[in-house]
Every structure is written in C-alpha cells, then in structure tokens.
C-alpha cells in the first residue's frame, strides 16, 4: 500500500516523463547521455561490448567513460526500447525506486505509519534535487540507490542482517554511471554504523560484546568489498581511464559547485535561487543546488529533530550527526568538512564539487521531517492535542497531500522548462544533414565553434534545434550518418591528458588564420566545420558547404589530403624529411617530453613548427599505399583488415589517439598467429609491425583492454561465489525437507528430522 501511494505521488509530479512527444532539452542529455546510449545500443545489437567510441575526440574509450552505464542491467532494459523515450521511462522508474527506498528508510526511524513514509518518499524523489539532475540519467540512477544503501546499513547495524542487499545496492549505484553519489552514501553509512557500534560497545556489559560489535562491522566492510568486486568490470576500466584522463585532475576550486549559506533560504522558498542569481526564471541554479522539498518539511524537520534528541537513542542521534556532516560537506569550503574528508578519500579530492552530498543530506532531511510528522500524528492519536484521538491519520494525510500539491506546482512546473518537443530535436537533426553532402565517411570533422556555453544553457525549442545544426558537440552520433569529430564534450572522462595537451600545444596551428592541413591530416581530418572567418585559412582549403544561421555563417572546409587509417611509418618519415617520428609531436617546444603528471599546457599563442609541416597530399597517399592494408569493416571495438602480400616486414602507424588495450592479430601461417599489442607513437598514433607475407591475409585490430577482461573475470567470479554461497544452504534445507516428507513413515528418520 505504501509503495503504491509513493508511486502515485511520483507519477503526479513527474507525469511529463510519460509523454513520448517530449524529451529532455539540456546539454547533459542531448550532448552526452543520449548519444552515448545510441552507441551502446548499436554495439549490443551488433553482438559486441561497447568498449570504444570512434566518434568523439577522434576515438576514445566508451565503456570506461562510465556515463553510458553499459554494464548496468536496468540500462539494458532501456536500450531494448526506442530512444530517447526509453531513457525517460528509465529515469521515471528510478525515481520510483528512490521514493520507495526513502519511504522504507523513514520507517526505520518514524515507525510504520503510512503518512510519514509517503511524505519522506515523495519529498526525496520529487524535490528540487532530482529536478536539477533530471536529464542526467546517470546521476538519477546512482542517487536513487542512496536510500537503499543507508537502509541496509541501518539494518546491518541493528540486526546484523542485510549484508547481501547492501552489496547489491552499492554495486548497482556504481554501475549506474555516477560513482560520487555512491561513495558519499557509503561514507555516510560508514559513519552511522561506526557511531552505533561504538555506542553499543561503550554501554555494553556482556563479555562477548566485542564479538557482537565486530561481526556487523566486518560484515559491512565485506559488503563494500563485495560490491566493488561485483562492479569490477566497470570500475577497473574507469580507473585506467581516470589515470590517463585530463578530466580527473586538481581544480582551482575543487569544492565548486557547492552549497552556500546564502542559498539556505531556498529550503523555504523554491524561487529564491532564481531571484538571487538573476536567472529570469530559468532553473539553472537548481541543477546543483536543489534543496527545496516542500514548505511543510521545514517545521516538521525541527519537530523531528527535537523528537530524535528526546528519545536518547544512539541510532537517532547518529542520524542527526550524519545529517550535519552531510550538510557541512555540501557547503564545501564554508562547511570546513570537505577538505578534511578529501585528505582521506582521494577520489573525492579529484571529484569536482561537493554539492553531490545533497543526495544524502536531502534524504536525511526528509526522513527527519517524517519523524516530525509521526510525532505530531502520535500526539493527536493519544489525545494530547485538543483531545482528538482519531484526527491523527487525517492530519497526516492532509500534510502529505498539501506537500504533494506543493511539489506539483514547483517541481512539476520546473520540469516543463527542462523538456522540449521531440520534434524540435528532430528538426535540428534534419538541419544537420547539410553537412553530409560534403562529408567523407573515412575522415573526421574538426569542429571550431564559438559561444557554445550560450547554447548549452538555453533550453528553448528553437535553441535546441540550433544546437543540433551546430553538431554541439556530440549530435553527430545521432544523425542519420554518423560523423567522427575532433571536438568533444568536456564533462566526459575524455580525452587522455597527452592528447589534450597536444591539441592545446598546436591550438594556433589548427584554429587561427592558417589551418595546418598536414597536422590535421595526421589526425585523420580533412574537413573543418567553423563559424570563424575563413579568409586566411590557407590555399589548400576550399569551401565545401556554407549555411547561414541567423547572425552566423557555418562553413565546411575541405583539404585535398587523404585520411587513411593506416600509413607506413618509414615512407611517411622519408617524405617529411625527418627521423624523429610522430613522438616529436608529444614534446614541448623545448624538446623535453611532457611529464605524465602534467595537467595542462598553456594554449599556444604562436605558430609551432613541427617536422611534418612540409608534407603534401601526395605524401599521405604514398604512405597509405605503401602500408598495403585495406580496412574491410569498422566494428564497435576494432577494425577488420585485408593485408596485401609483402616481401619484407614493415612498421605501420594506426592514426588513432594512443590508448592501451589495442592489439594486432593476423594468421601468418596455418599454425602461426601473430598477436602483438600496439605501442604508442606519440599522442596521435599507435605503432605495430607486420611480417613479410607471401599472399594476402586477413587481420584485425581489436580493442580489448586488460582492465576490462580482469574486471569482468572478477565480477563473474564474485557473482558466482555469491550465488553459490546462498544457493548451497537453500539446497541443503530443501533436500532435508524432501527427505523428511518422503520417509515420514520411518520412525528413525522422522526423529532425526525433528531433532534437526
């Protein structure tokens, strides 16, 4: 009954998500999550794991970037439907899961009355926090596991049960694609369990108290370890990418975005943040700082806090303590807690922003408010308030309905500004077809656009359509003809630091006045999409297509350079007149290699010379022809090749950003298979050797990172061990039961069964 009431409340607020004619309008959805879902869906349909993304930054890991949630079982169900509508149902289902979890968590402190549980469930899942993240499917899916993680942690601290459920909840949150929420929820649960067990140890008089305390504490730690093993197939590739990525780095302000003391009035007034930030009604500030959960929650919270203090129970006080710590952490530098926590949890030190702690803080806030409603309802039921005993449930129902109506008018109406008609998106995609007539499917488009942020923050249908026309920046993944662009969305775990610094180093060569056509050809790029003036772009570039767009003119430029996948390194160096190799592009102007720990290089302000600037279009054609390899098929995570016969071994370059995990495989003779990993050849290519061949042969370049293989092995091993651990006792009990039933007539067997 409670679950049905909570689900009805969620539907009353988020019913717009059921409309197939609408979709999310924001940058995170249309520019990252929806395109990645399209890639993952196409990969699974082709029978392969979605390990590699050919279309962003000229090639980059896909599964390791984590946002796509490719190993998350609920995402598999969503990918069986029609995108993007299936992702809206995916979000709605997780909101219901979050609401039910919050309701059950509230019951652990407020009792089994229906009103407080429904109030907490709707307050958590229908408040401004989820409104601000509604288009971020990975954030919603991860944050929805927060109440379940804390619920099973409370159960473990109180009864010693729930270890398996806790492990499954944590692993589910990790696989959902936004681990910061899970880490903060686990830290909150860790503090709660530690406080409860420490108080039990302090006040306990039994001699075996140490054992009674150590057992649930160790079970909690083992559950967290087991969850990590279950999600290892996702965590290990993500860890490998985070070490190489520029996205995981120290920030000038690692706490931002963070809640501020001056934003606290938003608890009372849902429009406060809009007015304080002068956003003209746009719900931008709510994206990170949504803390409104209903007007009635505020007085009930104070009543609930007083009730928890008066009960003098360590679990209640631990709840208040965790809420205070979560609130102070969300305040960032103003709270004084985030800096201390970051010293002990390096992951959080590299995770920009402390406002994500609002998932835990909001859950505890509505839970305490639920305790307050239970206290008021109990006072009415006992006749202590005006002597009326039966009005308590009526009062609770009234408060819940008023809060639900409040959230429908605030969160529900706010959702309208977060969605646009799907026809607007399709209109923009049709408008992007103008690029296809000048597009070469074998090359990349280098995208140079100005004022992208202005388009990011505008959710009007007309602005969304213009965003698609500009390919901003990953709409190329959902057009009818997918184009590989050399631009990408900075919020992803992309690109690798060496590749990003390379682009910064040669920024002027690629962007201003004269485009460096040979350098772009080394990036497999012969086309440039730009809105900058093109009068001085160089004699090699010609206007392929132009499109006026209000005050802008978009131009697609083309150069005569071919853009092969593979070239012969020796021929390329001979034509360039150098022996340095492409590794020279990975060095600074002083000639020193870029340190692996370097975060950023300054953008070049002068022309940077490189040994390949004199290459001509014919040189690339000769190097590609000398390679003698034809790409037969571009697969989700590899290339099928046809290798021509050759009289001597050769060293070839795959013009793809360097990343570990690529392998070259070829059957040399009947019983001999060549298999070797590709080696880095500077930031823009990888090197491999091909032996001499007497005849043509089939070969393959495959992306199979060791981190993924090891992670999947650990995940399958942990899943099998957990299943076996719980299946064997059940089979044993079932066998004993059948034995007793079948041999009930035998006195000896019956007496044995009765004893057991």
List, edge to edge, every strand of the sheet that includes 650-654.
566-568, 650-654, 686-690, 679-680
Q: What is the per-residue pLDDT for 442?
A: 66
End-to-end CA distance of the chain: 38
Q: What is the per-residue pLDDT for 285?
A: 37
Q: For 373, what's the count of Cα atoms within 13 Å in the CB-facing half-sphere? A: 31
3-state helix, strand, coil in the chain (%, to 5): 55, 10, 30
For residue 646, list its beta bridge partners.
693
The whole-chain average pLDDT of the chain stands at: 84
Peptide linkage before 495 cis (omega within 30 of 0): yes
Please report, rounded to a whole number, the percentage of residues in the chain having pLDDT higher than 70. Answer: 85
Instruction: Name which of 148, 360, 350, 76 is nearest 238 in CA terms.
Output: 350
User: Are residues 635 and 514 part of one domain?
Assistant: no
User: Are residues 330 and 443 part of one domain?
Assistant: no
Q: What is the per-residue pLDDT for 532?
A: 79
| Domain C-terminal end among 566, 597, 627 | 566
Q: Is the pLDDT of residue 659 over 80?
A: yes
Q: How far apart are CA 312 and CA 24, in angstroms?
A: 46
Q: How far apart are CA 629 and CA 342, in angstroms?
A: 50
Which position has the higher pLDDT, 207 or 4? Answer: 4
Instruction: Name which of 487, 490, 505 is nearest 447 in CA terms.
Output: 487
User: Are residues 466 and 451 part of one domain?
Assistant: yes
Q: How far apart are CA 91 and CA 499, in angstroms?
A: 34
User: Are residues 297 and 186 part of one domain?
Assistant: yes
Phi and psi of 674, rounded to 5°?
A: -85, 125
Q: Is the pLDDT of residue 113 over 60?
A: yes
Q: What is the mean pLDDT of residues 533-547?
A: 79
User: Are residues 645 and 726 part of one domain?
Assistant: no
- Going by pLDDT thresholds of 50, 70 and 90, the confidence category of residue 283 is very low
User: Are residues 380 and 457 part of one domain?
Assistant: no
Note the pLDDT tens digit of each residue in 438-467. Answer: 555 567 888 887 766 666 667 888 888 888
Q: What is the per-residue pLDDT for 487?
A: 74
CB environment 168-193: b (16+ within 10 A), e (fewer): bbbbbbbbbbbbbbbbbbbbbbbbbb
**Among 89-93, 279-283, 618-622, 635-639, which is the least confidently predicted range?**
279-283
User: Are residues 722 and 684 part of one domain?
Assistant: no
Note the pLDDT tens digit of each residue in 356-406. Answer: 999 999 999 999 999 999 998 887 766 555 555 567 778 888 889 999 999
User: Are residues 254 and 175 part of one domain?
Assistant: yes
Residue 219 in contact with residue 160, Cβ under 8 Å?
yes
Q: What CATH number does the domain containing 677 carry?
A: 2.60.120
- Number of domains comprising the chain: 4
* Nearest-10 Cα torsion for 569, 575, 576, 580: 40
Note the pLDDT tens digit of each residue in 239-261. Answer: 998 888 876 666 667 788 888 88
Please report, rounded to a whole number, the percentage of residues in the chain having pLDDT higher than 90. Answer: 40
Q: Is the pLDDT of residue 282 over 80?
A: no
User: Could you count the other beta carbons within 10 Å of the beta carbon of residue 573?
Assistant: 18
Note the pLDDT tens digit of each residue in 517-539. Answer: 899 999 998 888 888 777 667 77
Give the global pTM.
0.90
In Å, the largest CA–CA distance within the chain is 102
- 3-state secondary structure (DSSP) of residue 736: helix
Residue 522 in contact with residue 515, Cβ under 8 Å?
no
Q: How far apart are CA 406 and CA 722, in angstroms?
A: 44
Q: How far apart are CA 511 and CA 515, in angstroms?
A: 6
User: Are residues 367 and 476 part of one domain?
Assistant: no
Q: What is the per-residue pLDDT for 454?
A: 64
Q: How far apart are CA 749 and CA 754, in angstroms?
A: 9
Note the pLDDT tens digit of each residue in 481-526. Answer: 777 888 754 445 567 777 877 887 787 777 666 788 899 999 998 8
The encoded tokens of residue 347 equal 């992951």
Q: What is the per-residue pLDDT for 264?
A: 87
Phi and psi of 460, rounded to 5°?
A: -70, 150
| Domain C-terminal end among 510, 533, 566 | 566
Residue 578 in contact with residue 584, Cβ under 8 Å?
yes
Phi and psi of 287, rounded to 5°?
A: -55, -40
Indicate the DSSP class of residue 266. Answer: G
Q: What is the per-residue pLDDT for 12?
A: 94
Q: What stretch of H or E contains 67?
A: none
Which position has the higher pLDDT, 230 or 200? Answer: 230
Helices (H) and strands (E) in the chain, counts: 32, 18
User: Are residues 314 and 242 part of one domain?
Assistant: yes
Q: What is the per-residue pLDDT for 590?
A: 44
Q: How far apart are CA 105 and CA 116, in angstroms?
A: 11
For residue 419, list its beta bridge partners.
24
**Among 70-84, 133-147, 422-436, 639-653, which is the least confidently predicted range?**
422-436
Instruction: Name which of 652, 642, 711 is nearest 676 in CA terms.
Output: 652
| Domain C-terminal end among 537, 566, 595 | 566
- Going by pLDDT thresholds of 50, 70 and 90, the confidence category of residue 746 is low
Q: How far apart are CA 727 and CA 299, in angstroms?
A: 48
Q: Is 73 exposed, middle or buried (CB count within 10 Å of its CB: 0-12, 13-18, 19+)?
A: exposed
The encoded tokens of residue 89 equal 């149902």
- 3-state secondary structure (DSSP) of residue 95: helix
- Going by pLDDT thresholds of 50, 70 and 90, the confidence category of residue 278 is very low
User: Could you count the other beta carbons within 10 Å of the beta carbon of residue 390?
Assistant: 9
Q: How far apart are CA 680 and CA 311, in angstroms?
A: 64
Q: Is the pLDDT of residue 753 over 60?
A: no
The angle subtended at Cα 448 by Cα 442 and Cα 451, nearest 5°, is: 145
- 3-state secondary structure (DSSP) of residue 674: strand
Q: What is the per-residue pLDDT for 491?
A: 47
Indicate the DSSP class of residue 532. Answer: S
Residue 392 in contact with residue 380, Cβ under 8 Å?
yes
Q: How far apart are CA 26 and CA 459, in angstroms?
A: 6
What CA–CA distances, in Å, run from 88 to 164, 398, 463? 30, 30, 21
Q: How far apart are CA 497 and CA 594, in angstroms?
A: 10
Query: Which residue's structure tokens are 């004699």?
Result: 539
Which residues form the domain of 573?
Answer: 567-704
Q: For 690, what's the count of Cα atoms within 13 Å in the CB-facing half-sphere? A: 32
User: Are residues 441 and 347 part of one domain?
Assistant: no
For the ranges 275-284, 346-355, 499-508, the maximum mean pLDDT occurs at 346-355
User: Are residues 467 and 401 part of one domain?
Assistant: no
Indicate the DSSP class of residue 280. Answer: T
Q: How far apart are CA 34 and CA 86, in angstroms?
A: 10
Q: How far apart are CA 453 and CA 472, in angstroms?
A: 10
């Amino acid at each position: 009954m409670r679950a049905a009431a909570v689900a009805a409340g969620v539907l009353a607020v988020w019913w717009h998500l059921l409309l197939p004619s609408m979709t999310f309008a924001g940058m995170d959805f249309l520019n990252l999550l929806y395109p990645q879902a399209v890639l993952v869906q196409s990969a699974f349909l082709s029978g392969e794991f979605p390990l590699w993304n050919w279309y962003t930054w000229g090639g980059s890991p896909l599964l390791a970037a984590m946002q796509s949630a490719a190993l998350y079982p609920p995402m598999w169900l969503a990918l069986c439907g029609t995108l993007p509508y299936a992702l809206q149902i995916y979000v709605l289902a997780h909101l219901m899961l979050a609401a039910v979890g919050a309701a059950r968590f509230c019951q652990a402190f407020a009792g089994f009355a229906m009103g407080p549980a429904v109030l907490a469930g709707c307050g958590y899942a229908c408040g401004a926090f989820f409104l601000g993240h509604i288009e971020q499917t990975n954030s919603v899916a991860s944050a929805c596991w927060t109440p379940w993680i804390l619920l099973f942690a409370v159960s473990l601290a109180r009864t010693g049960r729930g270890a398996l459920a806790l492990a499954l909840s944590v692993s589910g949150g990790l696989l959902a694609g936004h681990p910061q929420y899970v880490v903060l929820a686990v830290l909150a649960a860790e503090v709660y369990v530690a406080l409860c067990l420490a108080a039990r140890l302090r006040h306990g008089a039994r001699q075996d108290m140490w054992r009674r305390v150590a057992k649930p504490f160790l079970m909690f730690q083992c559950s967290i370890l087991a969850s990590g093993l279950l999600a290892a197939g996702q965590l290990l590739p993500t860890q490998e990418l985070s070490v190489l990525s520029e996205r995981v780095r120290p920030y000038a302000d690692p706490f931002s975005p963070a809640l501020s003391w001056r934003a606290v009035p938003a608890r009372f007034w849902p429009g406060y943040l809009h007015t304080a930030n002068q956003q003209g009604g746009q719900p931008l500030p709510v994206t990170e700082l949504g803390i409104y959960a209903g007007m009635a929650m505020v007085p009930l919270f104070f009543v609930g806090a007083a009730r928890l203090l008066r009960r003098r129970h360590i679990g209640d006080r631990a709840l208040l303590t965790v809420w205070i710590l979560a609130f102070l952490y969300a305040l960032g530098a103003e709270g004084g807690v985030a800096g201390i926590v970051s010293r002990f949890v390096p992951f959080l030190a590299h995770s920009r922003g402390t406002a994500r702690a609002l998932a835990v803080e909001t859950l505890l806030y509505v839970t305490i408010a639920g305790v307050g409603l239970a206290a008021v309802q109990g006072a009415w039921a006992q006749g202590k308030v005006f002597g009326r005993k039966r009005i308590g449930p009526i009062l609770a129902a009234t408060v819940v309905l008023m809060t639900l109506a409040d959230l429908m008018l605030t969160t529900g109406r706010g959702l309208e500004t977060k969605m646009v008609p799907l026809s607007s998106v399709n209109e923009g995609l049709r408008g992007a077809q103008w690029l296809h007539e000048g597009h070469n499917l074998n090359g990349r488009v280098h995208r140079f656009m100005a004022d992208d942020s202005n388009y990011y923050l505008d959710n009007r249908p007309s602005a969304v359509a213009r965003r698609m026309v500009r390919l901003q920046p990953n709409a190329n993944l959902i057009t009818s003809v997918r184009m590989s662009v050399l631009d990408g969305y900075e919020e992803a775990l992309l690109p690798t630091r060496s590749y990003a610094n390379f682009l910064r180093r040669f920024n002027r060569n690629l962007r201003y006045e004269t485009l460096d056509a040979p350098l772009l050809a080394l990036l497999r790029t012969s086309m440039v999409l730009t809105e900058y003036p093109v009068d001085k772009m160089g004699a090699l570039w010609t206007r392929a297509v132009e499109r006026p767009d209000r005050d802008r003119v978009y131009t697609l430029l083309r150069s005569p350079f071919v853009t092969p996948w593979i070239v012969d390194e020796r021929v390329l160096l001979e034509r360039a007149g150098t022996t340095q190799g492409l590794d020279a592009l990975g060095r600074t102007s002083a000639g020193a290699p870029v340190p692996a720990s370097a975060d950023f290089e300054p953008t070049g302000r002068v022309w940077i010379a490189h040994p390949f600037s004199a290459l001509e279009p014919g040189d690339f054609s000769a190097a590609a022809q000398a390679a003698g390899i034809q790409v037969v098929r571009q697969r989700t995570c590899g290339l099928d090749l046809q290798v021509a016969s050759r009289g001597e071994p050769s060293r070839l370059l795959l013009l793809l950003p360097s990343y570990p995990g690529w392998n070259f495989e070829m059957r040399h003779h009947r019983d001999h298979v060549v298999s070797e990993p590709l080696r880095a050849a500077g930031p823009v290519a990888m090197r491999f050797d091909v032996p001499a061949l007497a005849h043509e042969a089939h070969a393959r370049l495959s992306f199979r990172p060791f981190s993924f293989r090891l992670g999947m092995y650990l995940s399958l091993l942990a899943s099998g061990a957990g299943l076996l651990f719980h299946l064997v006792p059940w089979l044993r009990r079932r066998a004993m039961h059948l034995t007793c039933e079948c041999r009930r007539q035998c006195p000896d067997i019956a007496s044995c069964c009765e004893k057991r």
